[in-house]
Amino acid sequence: MKTTDKIRKQLSDHPVILYMKGTPDEPRCGFSAKAASVLKATQVGFAHVDVLSSPLIMQALPEVSEFPTFPQLFINGEIIGGSDIVEAMYQSGELLPMLKAATED
């Protein structure tokens, strides 16, 4: 399976997924820490991929998302943005309804 196909499968399998450096419990960069902490604060479940341990995904994801930096948050397969965008959307009240809508059955 090509790396881009693997990414597309992850995006279709997980309504909320964060591609980050490290893990939500052990982030390995400040921006990833901020994005993970905002998502944790929403108390909505999310999947994550540690791009540092998946270098092919780290290399291919910016081509798929057309977003150059990490972390990258996707909701329902659509790129939302990085840590600053995620934080701003949380503070404005936009993020939580999007997360809840994506994860409700």
Q: In terms of DSSP bridges, do strands 16-20 and 47-50 run parallel, antiparallel, or are they unpaired?
A: parallel
Q: In terms of DSSP bridges, do strands 78-81 and 72-75 run parallel, antiparallel, or are they unpaired?
A: antiparallel
Instruction: Indicate the annotated binding residues for [2Fe-2S] cluster.
Output: 29
Work out the angle at residue 62's Cα, subtended by the Cα atoms of residues 102 and 83, and round it to the nearest 5 degrees.
Answer: 55
Instruction: Indicate the annotated binding residues.
Output: 29
CA distance 84 to 68: 14
